[in-house]
Amino acid sequence: MIPPSGNNIELYEFDSYETAQQQAAAAAASSFSQMLPCVTFEQAGRVYFSSAFPLANVNNLVKFDSAVKGSNNPEDYTNRPVLLDHVKAISEYLVDRTSDGEKYILPGITLNVRETIKVYTSKTASPVRAAIIVLPGHATFYVTDGQHRLKAVADALGKKQQLRMDALPVTIVVEPDVEQIHQDFADCAQSRSIPPALLTLYNRNDELSRLTVEVANDVDFFVNRLEKLGNTISKRSTNFYTLNHVRMSVAAAMTGDSSSHGPALQQATALKLSTEQERSDWKQELSWFYTTLSAHIPEWKIVRDANLGGAPIVDLIQFRARYVHFTGTGLAVIGAVGNRILTAYKDNSAEKEKKLIALAQSIDWTRIDSNGNPNPFWVGTVLTSDGKIISSRSAAQAAVDKIVATLLLAKANHSAVS
């Protein structure tokens, strides 16, 4: 329930919403004010208004108060410094999705207004009700949260005029206290990021994630053995990898880099998945790659057979801890070595399969022997002298180089899939 007039809000209630509209229009016309239809509600005793602004003029309605990077007095500003790379990333997202005719989603922004506003609404006991804000001509919206989205919209509009017909959800709070505005911004930032595994599962617009999910569903070894929600595998889990581990292995098999990530990785893989035919070819090649390995790595075969209804795995925790190939780092190394095999023997399927079987059977994937000693083959690359996994880029590459030398793999001269 909106409180009586006060706290920078003048409240006018009427028996019907139609009457509220008429009175709001009359008040706006007589004072050169703006009318803003909205929904109003409360949170913790403070009144909020929810509406939407057209992208075409949202930046004309909002004033930025961004701190200057490197300044010693950011507390004197409402917003943090503008991060130009963040603005660019959002703008490119909007332009790319619009260019490809795909859907996009732009989360709402939070604004504050410090001048007194007039609110016209109907009498009701509902906690949510329609209202009209009448803003004085000198009133200004300041950004509490969302300045990068707003600046990205301005940039994207210059490249894609069709965005002018879209709108952006807006939450408005009447808040003259700058310290509270700072607190509101901090509170807006208290969201929890999506775990990489879940992002891989849900983000079907990322070609690498889409391919990863399809390959994982196609390979019996991975079925019911992937953690799709969390960042790690618990000790008592029946899973062996996170879905993001598979994504990194797939990326390594495509690019040869076992530890690349972020925009550079997305760009490198997107170039190889630019058409449906390329994606289909990679899916077929990678599904064959992991299926063949699961038929020839003895421990993978046990897992695959268990997945298909065979004998259950005895002492799963120790079984999983005993081998390098059951770690995310090991899976990424397998992918990177696989890239060398897939590219170097692209035109010789028999030799390609022979080398892949050698990767499965000629390499000792044991991490710890029955006496608790670390396997010397991996010590100095992805394994410490006390048997702990090293997941750094240099360690993974050292392991890849050692396997390539051990298997006497030929140099790759061309892409694995045309």
Assign 264 to helix, strand or coil: helix
- Structural contact between residues 311 and 305, judged by C-beta atoms closer than 8 angstroms: yes
pLDDT category, 325, cuts 50, 70, 90? Answer: very high
pLDDT category, 261, cuts 50, 70, 90? Answer: low
Give the pLDDT score at 102: 85
Give the pLDDT score at 315: 82
- Average pLDDT over the chain reads 89
Give the pLDDT score at 413: 57
Q: To 10 degrees, what angle do helices 349-361 and 328-344 make?
A: 160
Tokens of 232: 């790690």
pLDDT category, 418, cuts 50, 70, 90? Answer: very low
- Structural contact between residues 145 and 184, judged by C-beta atoms closer than 8 angstroms: yes
Tokens of 163: 């965005």
Q: What is the C-alpha separation between 61 and 102, in angstroms, rounded?
A: 28
Number of Cβ within 10 Å of residue 174's Cβ equals: 19
Tens of pLDDT, residues 2-24: 544 456 889 999 999 999 999 99
Q: What is the mean pLDDT of residues 72-84?
A: 81
Nearest to 253 by CA among 345, 328, 352, 341: 341
Q: What is the mean pLDDT of residues 396-406?
A: 95
Q: What is the C-alpha separation between 203 and 200, in angstroms, rounded?
A: 6
DSSP secondary structure, 79-103, as one string: BPPP-HHHHHHHHHHHHHHHHTT--
Q: What is the mean pLDDT of residues 107-129?
A: 91
Give the pLDDT score at 365: 97
Give the pLDDT score at 247: 94
Q: What is the C-alpha separation between 189 and 278, in angstroms, rounded?
A: 39
Q: What is the C-alpha separation between 229 and 192, in angstroms, rounded?
A: 13
Give the pLDDT score at 379: 95
With 50 as the cut, is the pLDDT of residue 372 above it? Answer: yes
With 80 as the cut, is the pLDDT of residue 346 above it? Answer: yes
Lowest mean pLDDT among 57-61, 264-268, 321-325, 334-338: 264-268
More confident residue, 270 or 388: 388
Give the pLDDT score at 106: 95
With 70 as the cut, is the pLDDT of residue 373 above it? Answer: yes
Give Cβ neighbours of residue 288 (< 8 Å, ≥ 6 apart): none
Tens of pLDDT, residues 180-235: 888 888 887 776 677 888 888 888 778 899 999 999 999 999 998 999 988 888 88
Tokens of 204: 């079907």
Q: What is the C-alpha separation between 391 and 324, in angstroms, rounded?
A: 11
